[in-house]
Amino acid sequence: MSLQLVRGHDLRPPSREPRKRPAADAGFPSEGVTPLLSPELRLHRLAPRFPVSPETSEFYRRFWPGTTRADWNDWHWQFRHRIRTAEELARVFHLSEDERAAVTTHQGPLPVGITPYYASLMSRDDPREPLRRTHIMTGAESLRLPGEEDDPLGEDHDTVVPGLVHRYPDRVLFLTTGTCSTYCRYCTRARAVGNPGGEYQFSPKQWDQALAYLEQHTEVRDVLLSGGDPLSIADEKLDWLLTRLRAIPHIEFVRIGTKIPVVLPQRITKELVRMLKKHHPLWMSIHATHPRELTPEVTEAFARLADAGIPLGSQTVLLKGINDDITVMKSLMQGLLKRRVKPYYLYQCDPIRGSGHFRTSVDKGLEIIAGLRGHTTGYACPQFVIDAPGGGGKILMAPNAVVGRDGADLLLKNFEGGVYRYPDPDGTLGRTVATLAAE
Q: Which residues are catalytic?
A: 167-168, 171, 180, 184, 187, 189, 350, 387, 394
Residues 275-294 that bind ligand SF4 (CB under 6 A): 287
Question: Which H/E stretch holds residue 405?
Answer: strand 402-406
Question: Which H/E stretch holds residue 223?
Answer: strand 222-226
Distances (CA, A) of 335 to 134, 199, 329: 20, 39, 10
Minimal distance, residue 194 CB to ligand SF4, in Å: 7
- Please report how the helices 204-216 and 235-246 are oriented relative to each other, as an axis angle in degrees rounded to 10: 10
State how far the Cα of 224 lies from the Cα of 113, in Å rounded to an integer. 24
Residues 245-264 that bind ligand SF4 (CB under 6 A): 259
CB nearer ligand SF4, residue 259 or residue 290: 259
State how far the Cα of 131 lies from the Cα of 413, in Å rounded to an integer. 36
Minimal distance, residue 193 CB to ligand SF4, in Å: 5
Minimal distance, residue 374 CB to ligand SF4, in Å: 30
CB nearer ligand SF4, residue 189 or residue 292: 189
Closest CA to 121 of 83, 71, 169, 171: 83
Residue 201 CB neighbour total at 10 angstroms: 15
State how far the Cα of 150 lies from the Cα of 144, in Å rounded to an integer. 10
State how far the Cα of 45 lies from the Cα of 170, in Å rounded to an integer. 43
In terms of Cβ atoms closer than 10 Å to its own Cβ (0-12, 13-18, 19+), residue 323 is: buried
Minimal distance, residue 27 CB to ligand SF4, in Å: 32
- 81 makes contact with ligand SF4 (CB under 6 A): no
Task: Pick from 99, 141, 151, 229 the residue near ligand SF4 by CB under 6 A.
Answer: 229
Of the candidate spans 56-64, 147-155, 195-203, 227-235, the one that interacts with ligand SF4 by CB under 6 A turns out to be 227-235
CB nearer ligand SF4, residue 200 or residue 207: 200
CB nearer ligand SF4, residue 187 or residue 241: 187
Of the candidate spans 146-154, 225-233, 264-272, 337-345, the one that interacts with ligand SF4 by CB under 6 A turns out to be 225-233
Are the C-beta atoms of 418 and 381 separated by less than 8 Å? no
Minimal distance, residue 287 CB to ligand SF4, in Å: 6
CB nearer ligand SF4, residue 114 or residue 381: 114
- Total number of residues that touch ligand SF4 (CB under 6 A): 11
CB nearer ligand SF4, residue 151 or residue 404: 151
Over the window 169 to 208, marking each residue x when it contacts ligand SF4 by CB under 6 A and - when it does not, the resulting string is -----------x--xx--x-x---x---------------
- 341 makes contact with ligand SF4 (CB under 6 A): no
Q: 161 — phi, psi (to 5°)? A: -140, 160
Task: Pick from 116, 130, 154, 228 the residue near ligand SF4 by CB under 6 A.
Answer: 228
- 211 makes contact with ligand SF4 (CB under 6 A): no
Minimal distance, residue 162 CB to ligand SF4, in Å: 17
- 359 makes contact with ligand SF4 (CB under 6 A): no
Residue 78 CB neighbour total at 10 angstroms: 21
Q: Strands, DSSP E only, in 200-356?
A: 222-226, 253-258, 282-287, 312-318, 341-348
CB nearer ligand SF4, residue 263 or residue 411: 263
Are the C-beta atoms of 125 and 89 separated by less than 8 Å? no
Closest CA to 91 of 130, 56, 65, 128: 65
Q: What is the DSSP letter of 212?
A: H
Q: In three state form, how does the secondary structure of 247-278 look?
A: CCCCCCEEEEEECHHHHCHHHCCHHHHHHHHC
- 405 makes contact with ligand SF4 (CB under 6 A): no
Contact residues toward ligand SF4 (CB under 6 A) are 180, 183-184, 187, 189, 193, 227-229, 259, 287
